Amino acid sequence: MRKLFFVLLLSAATVLGATALTVNNTAGRLAELVGDTHINQLTVIGEMDASDFLFITNQLDQLTELDLSQAAIVACDRDKALYGTVTSYAADEIPRTAFFGKKLTSVALPLGLKSIGLAAFAGCYQLRSLTLPASVTYIDDYAFAGSALTSVVIPATVQGMGKGVFARCEDLQQAQVNALMVGDFTFLGDHNLSSVTLGSEVQYILRGVFNGCTALHSLNIDPACRLSRIDEEAFINSGLENIDVTTLGVATIGDWALAQTRLSSMTLPDGMTELGVGALAHNPLLTTVTLPGMGHAHEPSGRYSAPRHGRTLNQVKDYTFAGDELLHAGALLRDGVTTVGDYAFYNVSQDIDTMRLPASITRLGDRAMAGMTGMKVLKTDAATVPELGDDVWAGVDQPHVQLLPPDAQSTEQYRVADQWMNFFIQPTEPDFTPGDVNGDGKLDVSDVSMLIGYILGSVSADNIDLRAANVNGEDGIDVSDVSYLIALILGKSASLSLNYSDNDAQRNTTTDALAVSTVALRPGQTRTIQVALNNDEYDYTALQLAVVLPHGVTLTAVQGVDRGSSHNFSMRRHDTQQNIYLLMGVSMQNATFAGHQGNIMSLTLQADDDFDAQNAELLLAGVLLVNTDYEALAAGNAVARVTDASGIEQVTADKQVASVRYINVAGVESEAPFDGVNIVVTTYTDGTSTAVKVVK
C-alpha cells in the first residue's frame, strides 16, 4: 500500500510539472531552470538570449503556450553558430526559425520586442492568435507563413517587412495594417482573407501582397491613408471587386498589379505617373477605366517615391488592358498619352462607336489594338501620323472601319501611311467626285469608257479630271482604277431610281433599245436568255442597266455573246427586297458592239422551287448606252413576260388567243412578224390583251 501511494504521488508531480512552469531567467540559463522538457506551458520572466531560444527550439517539443511578455531579449555573440550560420544576435530580436513548426497555440511576445526573425513562427499550424507589440519595427521573411492565425494587426511601428510574412495562412480572415509598407507577398495565397483595413500610415503595398486572395472583394482604407505605390502583382488573381484610390496620392501601380481580378471599373487618381505592364489585364468584368489627368503626383525614385508636381501618365504600357473584352475603351486615352505599348488593347472586343487617339499620341506598339473587332470608327487627333509596330490592328476589318484624321493635310498623310491606309478614309476634296472622270456630275458607265479611253491614249488629259480619274488613290492611272470605278458604280449605296428620272433629267436620249423575248421559266428551273441591242442611231462601246426580276428568280450569271463577245460584263445585286441587279458591260479596248441588230449578252436565271410565274415580268430599266463620243444616252425600258408555258404563243393555260398583231418600230402593223424589233400584241377571247417586245 505504501509503495502504491509513492507511485501515485510521483505520477501527480510529473503531471503537474508538465502542465505549467514559470521561470525567472538569467540569459543563457533557461535549460538549467526548466529541467523537464515535457512541459506544455512556459512563462519566462527576466532576460533571455539566443541560446535560450535554441533550447526551446530543440527541446520543448510539447510546448503549446508561451508567455514572454515579462521577458527582455538581450544581445548574444557566440563563437559557434546557433541558428544556421549566424553567430551574432541583436537585442530585442526573436531569432530565425526559433519556433518553426512548433505546436504553439498561443504566444505573448516581449513588450519591448523590435524584430522577428526569418520564419520564426512559420509552420505553427495550431497558432491561431498573436499580438504584435507596438515596439516591433521589422518582421523578417516568412515569419508567420503557414501558421493558423485567423486575424492579425500590424502596428504603425513596423517600418519594414520581409517576404511572405503571413503567406499561406489558410485560416487568416482579417488583417489590420498600419505599417509603413506591406512587404512582398505578405498575404500570398491567403484564400480566406476577406477583410483588410489599411491605416493612415500605409504608404507602400509591395509586390504580390494579395496575390491569390480570392475572398478579398474590397479594402477598408482610412481616408488619411498615405498610400503612394502599389507594386507589381499586388492584387493579381484576387477576388478584388472594387478599390477606390481616387483621393489617395497613388503615383505608381506596378506590372500586373490589378490583373485577373473581379474589378468592373477603375478610376486612377489625377497626377499618377506610371501604370505598369499588364496592370489591368485579363479582367473579364472590367467595363470602364478612367486614366489620370494632371495634378499632384509622386515621381518614382528607386523603389519608393518622392513628391513631384504637374506630371501625369504618358504611357499605356504593354498588355495594360489585354483580354479585357468588355472594356469601353473609346474615350479612355486622355491627352498627354504619347505611347500605347505592345498588345495594350489586345482583344478588347466590346462594341465601340468611336475609338479616339489623342493629339499627343506618337506610337502604337506591336498588335496594340489587335482583335478590337467591335471598333466602328477610329478618330485620331494626331496631326503627325504616329509610328506603328507590327500588325497593330490584326483581326480588325479595317476597310469597314472609318478613319477620321484631324484635318485635310494630315488625311493625305494617313492615306498613304503603312497600316493606316487600310482603313476607310472619306475623300476630303470638295471640288471633285472620285470617279466622275468626265466631270458631268454623274457617276456612270460613261466615266468608265472615258477612263479606258484615257488609258488607251484616245482621250486627252485636257478632257478629263485627272484627280477624279485616280479613283483608287494610288500613284498613276491604270486598269486598276477602271476596276475600282466599276465596283464603285455597281456598289452605290443610294437607292436606285429605275427610270433615272431624278439624276438624269438632263441626259440625252436615244431611240435605240435593248430587247428581250418572253421568258419560259418553271419552278426549280435554270434558263439562259438572250438580250439584243437594236441600234440604228449610234454605235455603242459600253452599257449600264438594271435588271428587275420577279421574286423567286435569281440572276446567277451574265456573259457577253455574239455582238458583245469582246465585252466584259459585271453585275451586282443592288436591292434584295426589290430583286434588282445592276449590270455593266465594257470593252477594255473601247470596241463597239458588232453590227446593229442581234444579241449582245446572255442572262442566266434560276427559279426557286416556290416560284410563281403568274403576272411575272422581267424588266430592263435605267438603260444607258455609251456612244463612241463617250456620251451616255438614256434608252427606254424593255419588258418581257415570264411564263411557265413552253412557247411564246402559250402565254397562259387558262385563256384562248383571239388574235396576234405585230407592230414594228415605225408603227406599222402586220399579222406576221417583221424583221428586227416587234411589239407583239396578243388579244384573248375574254377581251384582255398583252404586249411584249421581241426580236426576230
- pLDDT above 70 (res 463): yes
What pLDDT does residue 198 have?
A: 97
Q: What is the pLDDT of residues 144-191, one digit of tens each?
A: 999 999 999 999 999 999 999 999 999 999 999 999 999 999 999 999
Cα-only R_g, the chain: 45
What pLDDT does residue 654 have?
A: 43
Question: Which has the higher per-residue pLDDT, 469 or 275?
Answer: 275
Distance CA 152, CA 182 (A): 13
Q: Give residue limits of the domains in the chain.
A: 17-112, 314-428, 445-490, 513-643, 657-695
What pLDDT does residue 294 have?
A: 60
- Average confidence (pLDDT) over 293-310: 46
- Average confidence (pLDDT) over 262-277: 93
Helices (H) and strands (E) in the chain, counts: 7, 46
Q: What is the pLDDT of residues 67-89, one digit of tens each?
A: 999 999 999 999 899 999 999 99
Residue 615: which pLDDT band, with cuts at 50, 70 and 90?
confident
What pLDDT does residue 321 have?
A: 98
- pLDDT above 70 (res 327): yes
177 has which bridge partners?
154, 198
What pLDDT does residue 483 have?
A: 86
Residue 370: which pLDDT band, with cuts at 50, 70 and 90?
very high
What pLDDT does residue 379 have?
A: 94
Question: Which has the higher per-residue pLDDT, 541 or 431?
Answer: 541
Distance CA 123, CA 447 (A): 86
- pLDDT above 70 (res 430): no
What pLDDT does residue 441 have?
A: 84
Q: In degrees to the nearest 10, what's the CA dihedral of 316, 320, 325, 331?
A: -20
Asked, colleague to colleague, whether 17-112 and 314-428 share their fold, the answer is yes
Strand ranges, E, within 51-113: 65-73, 76-77, 88-89, 93-94, 106-108
- pLDDT above 80 (res 388): yes
Question: What value, to the nearest 5°, has the Cα angle with vertex 192 and ends 188 and 195?
Answer: 90
Contacts of 104 (CB under 8 A, 6+ apart): 63, 64, 65, 66, 121, 124, 126, 127
Question: Domain 17-112, what fold?
Answer: 3.80.10
* C-alpha cell read off for 290: 478612367
Residue 295: which pLDDT band, with cuts at 50, 70 and 90?
low
pTM for the model stands at 0.60
Q: What is the pLDDT of residues 476-514, one digit of tens each?
A: 788 888 888 888 888 764 334 444 444 445 678 999 999
What pLDDT does residue 305 have?
A: 43
What pLDDT does residue 676 have?
A: 66
Q: How far is CA 406 from CA 117, 144, 223, 383, 678, in A?
A: 62, 59, 43, 6, 61
Which of 449-463, 475-489, 669-683 is least confident? Answer: 669-683
- pLDDT above 50 (res 10): no
What pLDDT does residue 684 have?
A: 57
CATH architecture assignment, domain 314-428: Alpha-Beta Horseshoe (3.80)
Question: Domain 513-643, what fold?
Answer: Immunoglobulin-like (2.60.40)
The full DSSP string for 540-581 is: EEEEEEEEE--TTEEEEEEEE-GGGTT-EEEEEEEETTTTEE
Q: What is the mean pLDDT of the chain?
A: 87
What pLDDT does residue 15 have?
A: 40
Residue 384: which pLDDT band, with cuts at 50, 70 and 90?
very high
- pLDDT above 90 (res 413): yes
Name the DSSP letter for residue 295.
S
Distance CA 519, CA 143 (A): 93
Distance CA 587, CA 593 (A): 9
Distance CA 348, CA 186 (A): 32
- pLDDT above 50 (res 297): no
What pLDDT does residue 502 have?
A: 40
What pLDDT does residue 645 have?
A: 73
